Structure 1
Amino acid sequence: MGHPQPDQKLPPFDELVQLAKSDPKAFNQFKHEMCEQMICSASEPMQDRLRAQQSHIDLVVSRCKNPHHTNVVLMKELSCQVCKFQDALQGRCSFEETQPENVVPFRPNTEPKMY
């Protein structure tokens, strides 16, 4: 069963550009509210994952130097996610956690020790 999408109406692009230039805090608040509204429209089990993804995006964007840099970095992030999704759909990846080669798994000793 699908979840209804929120009826989000964005102001005209030029107004958003002006808001971003004149009041970056208000623009970021608006952006945050729009993202949160979209996340809340998702299923309960998906909301935590979407918030984690949004937090990652916010962190990546915070490290960017300008809007062009942001676009390039976000495009790279999106491309990586699309490749992972494609690999998953084509069965080329495993969802099991892999352990580094230098980690030896713990195996409990089943024999009692005699002292």
Structure 2
Amino acid sequence: MNLPLINQTLPSFDELIDLAETNPEGFAQFKHEMCKEMIMSASEEMQDRLWAQQSHIDRVVDNCKNPNHANVVLMRELVSQMVKFQDVLEGDTVETENNITAQIIPLADWR
């Protein structure tokens, strides 16, 4: 199923900074609406996972002391996910939630 591509237009960086500084609640609402629009444009099978990921990101950011701390923590999260993806792509074994292991077949061997 081909889903329509979302082309979100953001205000300028300066406008976003101004909104965040002068109206934090408005900025949070804007961010929530943009995330909602993007998630709702994804396939139905992916939406629950994306909402869970967004919830996790929101919880991580809420526990940070300042924006720089949030950036460092989110980058650490991203690197961790990229390492997991790399392991899968290299054919390492992956454990599922039910502790069942799945053998990953490298793409080159599959062909």
Helix, strand or coil: the match of 1:65? coil
Q: How many residues align?
A: 99
**Does residue 98 of structure 1 match 2:99?**
yes
In 2, Cα distance between equivalents of 1:80 and 1:3: 29
Residue correspondence of structure 1 range 20-59 to structure 2 within 5 A: 20-59=20-59
Residue correspondence of structure 1 range 10-29 to structure 2 within 5 A: 10-29=10-29
Show CA shifts across 1:45-96 (max 9, x none): 0000000000000000000000100100000000001111111111213233
In 2, Cα distance between equivalents of 1:12 and 1:58: 23
In 1, Cα distance between equivalents of 2:23 and 2:69: 21
Who is 2:7 aligned against? 7
Structure that is richer in helix per residue: 2
**Contact in 2 for aligned 1:64/1:70 (Cα 8 Å):** yes
C-alpha RMSD of the superposition:
1.4
Helix, strand or coil: the match of 2:95? coil
How far is the alpha carbon of 1:7 from its aligned partner?
Answer: 1.8
**Which structure is richer in relative contact order (CA contacts within 8 A, separation 6 or more)?**
1
In 2, Cα distance between equivalents of 1:13 and 1:54: 22
Q: Which has the larger radius of gyration?
A: 1
After TM superposition, the structure 1 stretch with the greater mean CA deviation from structure 2, 84-93 or 71-80, is 84-93
**In the alignment, residue 37 of structure 2 is paired with which amino acid?**
Q
Who is 1:67 aligned against? 67
In 2, Cα distance between equivalents of 1:5 and 1:22: 32
Q: Among all aligned residue pairs of Structure 1 and Structure 2, give the percentage whose two residues are the same amino acid.
A: 60
In 2, Cα distance between equivalents of 1:87 and 1:4: 31
Q: Which runs of 5+ in 2 are unaligned?
A: 101-111
